[in-house]
Amino acid sequence: DNYHEDFAHYSQGYDLFMIQEAMTTEDELVSKLAKDGFRWDFGVSFGYRKNPEKETGTMLGSHVEPTRTWIARTVDNEPIVKTPKTLTMGIYPIQGQEHGLMVINIHALNMTNQKAFERHLLQSMAQVQNHQGPLVFAGDFNTRTKERMSFMRELLIEKWGMTEISFRNDERMT
């Protein structure tokens, strides 16, 4: 109920936002943040038949103008609803650095089998093969099983050398 107030409060002092399940509805907060110098890049996953102007997906917000943004939709779809998931990606310049910061915002496939989940993570990593600078890869990974967590850690930490960020007081499987 207090989304607008909570987001305004928790977003103070941050330059980069990664939102999953963003929607293209009239949102006073996004409009206000756009006026406050934020740029928003929206990767549409799917639209609603009954409400065509309403779309959902992943979103990046930043004070910094990216040098490039793009999206990638999954090859596999969520069962029953038959919708893809989306990666929204951007490269942001870093003052004094040759290579920019690459940001990948994921909303991973959830109710699919393990192989579809693996394909989605592999698709994500295909996006960074030629990137030379730093990388932030975050979002809703939907790692609801030990098998998914194991695959994700093996791929991202062991193969790609990423560092996992842990959250204080998080009792969920992260």
What amino acid is encoded at 11 in this protein? S
pTM of the shown model: 0.82
Q: Which residues have a Cβ under 8 Å from the Cβ of 87 and sit 6 or more positions away?
A: 43, 58, 71, 72, 73, 104, 105, 106, 123, 124, 127
pLDDT digits (tens, 9 = 90+) for 30-85: 555 665 677 888 887 777 777 767 777 888 888 889 999 998 888 888 888 888 88
Comparison of pLDDT for 120 and 12, the residue scoring more: 120
Q: Is pLDDT of 174 > 50?
A: no
pLDDT tens-digit map of 91-136: 999 999 999 999 999 988 888 889 999 998 999 889 888 899 999 9
Q: For the chain, give the mean pLDDT.
A: 83
Helices (H), the chain: 3-10, 28-35, 114-126, 146-153
Of the candidates 6, 161, 137, 4, which has an alpha carbon nearest to the alpha carbon of residue 60? 137
Evaluate whether 117 touches 148 at the Cβ level (below 8 Å): yes
Check residues 169 and 110 and name the one with the higher pLDDT.
110
Question: pLDDT at residue 168 above 80?
Answer: no
Residue predicted with more confidence, 1 or 140: 140
Distance of CA 70 to the CA centre of its chain: 12
